[in-house]
Amino acid sequence: MAKTKTAYFCQNCGAQFAKWVGQCSSCKQWNTVVEEVVQKETKSSWKQTDTSVKRTAKPLRISEISNDKEVRLNTKDGEFNRVLGGGLVPGSLTLLGGEPGIGKSTLLLQMALKLDLKVLYVSGEESQKQIKMRAERIENNTDNCYILTETKTQHIFKQVAAVTPELVIIDSIQTLHTDYIESAAGSISQIRECTAELIKFAKESNTPVLLVGHITKDGNIAGPKILEHMVDTVLQFEGDRNYVYRILRSLKNRFGSTAELGIYEMFGNGLREVTNPSEVLISNAAGELSGTAISATVEGMRPLLIEIQALVSSAVYGTPQRSATGFNVKRLNMLLAVLEKRAGFKLAAKDVFLNITGGISVDDPAIDLAVIAAILSSNADIPIEKGTCFAAEVGLAGEIRPVQRVDQRILEAEKLGFSTIYVSKANKIGLKHTNLELKLVSKIEDVVGELFG
């Protein structure tokens, strides 16, 4: 019998130690190191039969490698395809992370039910009956989706061989366990080993595999960081559970851009793609109420108009409060300091609250000018004229800085019926003709003068 070998792993970062330590020297967390059995056996490939003939890969000149365009698998979900960079790549491993209850299982089951391909949906979390109940809630028009409740990888591969699916979905990687390792499901070594087996399966059979991954309370995908290195694509499903909007982002993508963004709306009968995000994210109240401003942002390749709300009120306590949802508080503090210094606003004695509506978060710097406009509008209690939007970054000297893809932002604003857009004077505008009135500004003072002067 093979000698059982054990090692100590940090459950937080996945670092390996030869003996137990109280503090992980790699991530500095206390009490996260546990003993796990790493049983090294000679193991066969995911396909137990095929061990004898092994083709060995030969190095090729890059010009010799055939570049037949990889046929991507259309997931029939426009948003998902976009985030992946045009569909699933055969033989790729995609990890979908997100908080519990955000809708990961719903998203993948819904996709599985929409596809004409043969899909194997393996769940270690819900029974077949429970999945059937979920499937009945959402639109369901295929009979090609097989549901399997199983957590042992060896059994899963046996079923895969029987069903020969064209897409495999695993919900979730943390529930899987393999015979080759003795530690509990969800432990570092189990996750690492199961993922390695799945990768081998995906690459050898050229079947795409979608994995669901849980995230820890600080927002990282549970398990070792190495999991993210092993897979080809890491997607994150996020949003505020109290809002209907869900955002799909890609954090890593070997086959496409990571700047793309997919937006969904959660209904009682599943997720719906939001194809006109700008329209749903803007309320009609803008232009009538003080403290709201519209920003023309770009997320990935897609222009997105979003509404920013600010509330400025007198501070009750000595230290004024600054709070922001969907926007970086540090950036808010910086913008407030710029306003104080360059535009002479006495905001130090005011509480400032900022909110990006729809529960989405934005990190496009072009949102700065709209944030400032919303704050000024709330401070003065004067609404910003209807039909006005903003797209510019604000620098520390109070200068209005140019942003990229300004033409795209202008076109989107025009499409949604806006009449005026504030952009930086330094921005090169390539558009020959636009119905929008372009306000070219270079300093914060110009903006204040134009808006409230």
Please give the annotated binding residues for ATP, written as ranges: 98-105
d(CA 447, CA 159): 65
Least distance in Å: CB of 108 to ligand TYD? Answer: 8
β 233-238/93-98 pair status: parallel
**174: contact with Mg ion by CB under 5 A:** no
> Which of the choices ligand TYD, Mg ion, none does residue 14 contact, using the CB cut-off of 5 to 8 A by kind?
none
Nearer to ligand TYD, 99 or 299 (CB): 99
Member of 14, 85, 97, 103 binding ligand TYD (CB under 6 A)? 103
**106: contact with ligand TYD by CB under 6 A:** yes
Member of 266, 374, 406, 447 binding ligand TYD (CB under 6 A)? 266
d(CA 424, CA 391): 8
**205: contact with Mg ion by CB under 5 A:** no
Binding mask 269-308 for ligand TYD (x = CB under 6 A): xx--------------------------------------
d(CA 326, CA 371): 12
CA distances from 375 to 349, 378, 387 (A): 14, 5, 18
- Given the rule CB under 6 A, which of 102-110, 114-122, 185-193, 310-318 is the region that contacts ligand TYD? 102-110
Member of 92, 105, 187, 236 binding Mg ion (CB under 5 A)? 105
Least distance in Å: CB of 267 to ligand TYD? Answer: 6
What would the DSSP string read from start to end of 247-293? Answer: EEEEEEETTS-S--EEEEEEETTEEEE-S-HHHHH--TTBTTBTTEE
**98: contact with ligand TYD by CB under 6 A:** yes
d(CA 236, CA 230): 16
Could you list the residues known to form a binding site, using ranges.
Answer: 98-105
**175: contact with Mg ion by CB under 5 A:** no
Nearer to ligand TYD, 104 or 409 (CB): 104
- Roughly how many angstroms between the first and final C-alpha of the chain, as a whole number? 85
> Which of the choices ligand TYD, Mg ion, none does residue 195 contact, using the CB cut-off of 5 to 8 A by kind?
none
- Given the rule CB under 6 A, which of 133-141, 183-191, 287-295, 344-352 is the region that contacts ligand TYD? 133-141
CA-based max dimension of the chain: 85
Least distance in Å: CB of 171 to Mg ion? Answer: 6
d(CA 121, CA 112): 8
> Which of the choices Mg ion, ligand TYD, none does residue 266 contact, using the CB cut-off of 5 to 8 A by kind?
ligand TYD
Rg of the chain taking only CA atoms, in angstroms: 26
Q: How many CB atoms lie within 10 A of CB 439?
A: 16
What is the edge-to-edge ordering of all strands in the sheet holding 16-17?
16-17, 6-10, 33-37
Taking alpha carbons only, the member of 97, 93, 72, 159 closest to residue 122 is: 159
Q: Which residues bind ligand TYD (CB under 6 A)?
A: 98, 100-106, 134, 137-138, 266, 268-270
Q: Which residues bind Mg ion (CB under 5 A)?
A: 105
